[in-house]
Structure 1
C-alpha cells in the first residue's frame, strides 16, 4: 500500500477511508458498518469525506490487541 502522507508541520496525518481499508485489509463497507455501530476508529468529516487521524487509528488498533493466553485482563 502506498499512501500520500505528507508531513505538514503541526498537523496529524490523515488517512482516507480507502487508505484505511487497504491498511487494515478490510472492505470499505466494513469500515462504514463499524463506524455506525461504534466499533471502528474515530473519523473526522472533511467536507463530505471521512478521514482518519493516524493517532486515532493507532489507538484503536492497540485497543483491539488480545491479551496473551493465561494473562490476567
Structure 2
C-alpha cells in the first residue's frame, strides 16, 4: 500500500482505519474537530460518518466526490 500513495487518498484507507484512529485520539485529548466529508463518502460509509457525528464532531460538506474543478468546463 505505501508504494501506492494515491491508494490512501482515494477513500480506501480513511473509512477503514483512519476514522477510528482519529476518533480515539480526539477523544483521548478531548479535542473537538470538523471533518469535511464528500457526500459520496457519506453514501458509501454511513456508519463511519455516523460515528463522527455521534462523537460530537462537526461535519462540513466537501463536494460530492472530490471533483477536480480544473476539469470543469
Q: TM-score range by the shorter chain?
A: under 0.3
Greater per-residue helix proportion: 2
TM-score by length of 1: 0.25
